[in-house]
């Protein structure tokens, strides 16, 4: 029985397959970004997967926002308020 590709390895392999005729849903990555993700996978080993990468990226963004690296803009407030009203 063939082993299924899961996590980051599976996502990267799926991204390399032939172009789809319909608009794919999900995250679009450039060739450089895909190569960087493959390097990360090689450096961290098999236990590193897409879920951990996304979780890390979100927590890093929150830390950066709290430290003042990103500033809130009027557009950000408007979008946040609109989503809160729904």
Model confidence over 33-54: pLDDT tens digits? 888 888 877 777 767 677 777 8
Task: Flag the least confident range among 18-22, 50-54, 78-82.
Answer: 18-22
Q: Quick one: pLDDT at residue 78?
A: 66
Strand, coil or helix: what is 13? Answer: helix
Strand, coil or helix: what is 31? Answer: helix
Average pLDDT, the chain: 72
Q: Quick one: pLDDT at residue 59?
A: 92
* Among the listed residues 79, 81, 62, the one whose alpha carbon sits nearest the alpha carbon of residue 70: 62
Q: Quick one: pLDDT at residue 17?
A: 57
By the 8 A CB rule, do 15 and 29 touch?
yes
Q: For residues 24 and 17, what is the distance between their CA atoms, to the nearest angstrom?
A: 12
pLDDT at 13 over 60: yes
Q: For residues 20 and 33, what is the distance between their CA atoms, to the nearest angstrom?
A: 20
Strand, coil or helix: what is 71? Answer: coil
Share of the chain above pLDDT 90, in %: 3
């Amino acid at each position: 029985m063939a082993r299924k590709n899961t996590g980051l390895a599976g996502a990267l392999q799926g991204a390399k397959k032939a172009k789809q005729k319909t608009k794919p849903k999900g995250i679009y990555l450039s060739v450089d970004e895909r190569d960087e993700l493959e390097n990360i996978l090689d450096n961290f080993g098999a236990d590193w997967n897409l879920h951990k990468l996304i979780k890390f990226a979100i927590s890093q963004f929150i830390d950066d926002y709290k430290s003042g690296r990103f500033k809130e803009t009027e557009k950000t407030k408007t979008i946040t308020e609109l989503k809160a009203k729904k």
